[in-house]
Structure 1
């Protein structure tokens, strides 16, 4: 017999509204209600939240690693499990382990590990994000230029073979190395196609959005900028309502003023959502790491190559939410939506994740009144406790 759990004496944000001194009801991994304590069903297992704040769990669509593990180095079920567990400590309840541009062999091994991780029902594993290798060398960022290449028929065939195999599946491409027809095939085949690492013009980005691209990868970084006569991909991401876009909220990748301008300028229904672009350093005291045989240095919240190029980010999701709230001055509720509802909408899972509504997955974060971590819950089970 499945029992109802009730987290009582909590301040609950369901994604839109606050429920004061209420109880979150969970049954069989789903939210079955938010009620006053006097409305608790008989026989419910009560867990006293002691006045804590409960918010929807964070969804991170770009996670290269965590807890000392990089997906590029460890394409295994245990590697994925380790990454998911590392980010759960910071409120992430669903994520896409992300493969930075690599060889066909590494890509195939990553897909195999992802399928096995799905079968193993690893808590927090949502699917995969393949960031490359079909990018622009001119906007490579930290991606190895020797591994960047055009998408060929064999690449497309292998991708389409797994297109509907995950709850969410994302691929970052550049128009320089993919065709409109390939983007349409990927979009129709179950992928969220994201434009990134590209010098594409506004007009080209618009054409690719019409062909099926839905998102933009880490706004402002590794893309054609917004200028007076050439809006570039930045302009397209903000102007085209069909596009949602991720943004790295660490204060290094994007200046806070630029973030604020973008948030005010973005045309809907597409939204700006938070991604961490986190590397293996999250949750560790590592001083650096290697990627494709190149040393990455960790210092003062930044990860860089020897020449100073930013190489992923050294920030977790809760810290990103608080940066947006405290530094940019967004309401806490909107900062939470940027890390939960909006990424869920971007990859079309907002009918079951990103909010605390009846029938939704019971994925949530329990915080102190000052927004410090207490615990993380995935599918109605506590997976981390501080």
Structure 2
């Protein structure tokens, strides 16, 4: 079998369980089998991955930028390629380039650029996440309030006719009513609630209409109160909702993350997002978003008034934080970075696992949780030295 490659590893995490002394068989961009050391097919090319752990590639559903590029100001194939390459270095093998609230023209440009990037085969580009503009001004965070607006028929048409297989949009439950959410979900758009000041009942109505979960749990949403459970309470209480969370030690306290993991009603899950900005993979100290300067200092990104503006987080850093600071086991943390976001997007048959029929997207980790190798569609990724 001249086109078959066997990746030999001492320790394999397949997305569900650990295996020892396994070989992952890859043909083209697809995993075709997992065998023991005595089961290698004749003629297969073998690649030994010494030490460490082979795990499913990470999936990040909220990536505003990286490598010096921000989707809002680099809505091009090259911009998306730069973002995907910057995050692949840290183990992310699939991501949604994310557009922060902007004008209709910029939104259309971002959708077109994503469509072009996928057609061009940019490694790691899965689809697009449109975070806004249909948000709550009261919970705007770093979003420009001048661009926030209600959803009209043109917006609905734009979202439901992207030509993309994977589209996620973040909306406020009090701004976008259940009937609009239902129309979006019926068209195959994934809807998340975020930047929302809605009460518990309104958020639950959004989930019942088809919203899949919430964007960056705890941040920019009504909080869990004992008489007013808010969006946080609804997200934790709903058995069908999923929650992205930013584990950088700045957006959410470790104790809040741990409490949310204990409180979340099954089968909904909590998965990791970075909410990364253009600084990831660079030495930049500031950048511009919608005409405003964002400062980077000590791993923290803020507007002049101190408002957090996305994160300086990468996925392997998030995994280290979850295991080392929050105290979550490595296998569960890896699921939060791969299997669970794949399940949220409904793509877990081919993403988030190392299993026959899945894409050959995986990451080789050292014992210290450094990234030793990244494979996207069976191809080893190579990265220029960081400057």
What TM-score bracket applies, with the shorter chain setting the length? Answer: over 0.9
1:76 aligns with 2:102: no
RMSD over aligned CA atoms reads 1.1
Contact 1:21 1:51 in 2 (8 A): no
The structural deviation recorded for 1:377 is 0.5
338, 344, 347: which one aligns with 2:345: 347
CA deviation digits over 1:114-168, x for unaligned, max 9?
A: 1111111111000000000000000000000001000011111121112xx3342
Partners of 2:243 and 2:382 in 1: how far apart? 29
Contact 2:31 2:356 in 1 (8 A): yes
- How many aligned residue pairs are there? 384
213, 218, 221: which one aligns with 2:219: 221
Contact 1:192 1:215 in 2 (8 A): no
TM-score between the two structures when normalised by the length of structure 1:
0.98
Give the stretch that moved more between structures: 69-78 or 376-385.
Answer: 376-385
3-state SS of paired residue (1:177): coil
Residue segments in structure 1 that go unaligned for 5+ positions in a row? none
Contact 1:301 1:314 in 2 (8 A): yes
Please list, as runs of the form range in 1=range in 2, the aligned pairs for 1:82-231 lying within 5 A after superposition: 82-162=82-162, 165-231=163-229
Partners of 1:9 and 1:107 in 2: how far apart? 43
3-state SS of paired residue (2:381): strand
1:3 aligns with 2:10: no
Contact 2:194 2:220 in 1 (8 A): yes
Partners of 1:336 and 1:217 in 2: how far apart? 19
1:376 aligns with 2:367: no
Partners of 2:58 and 2:153 in 1: how far apart? 36
3-state SS of paired residue (1:327): helix
The structural deviation recorded for 1:2 is 5.8
Residue segments in structure 2 that go unaligned for 5+ positions in a row? none
Contact 2:9 2:53 in 1 (8 A): no
The structural deviation recorded for 1:373 is 1.0
Partners of 1:166 and 1:60 in 2: how far apart? 17
Partner of 1:238: 236
3-state SS of paired residue (2:46): strand
Contact 2:9 2:48 in 1 (8 A): yes
CA deviation digits over 1:80-122, x for unaligned, max 9?
A: 0110010000000000000000000100111111111111111
Partners of 1:180 and 1:91 in 2: how far apart? 37
Moved over 2 A (4+): none
Contact 2:364 2:371 in 1 (8 A): yes
Partner of 1:324: 322
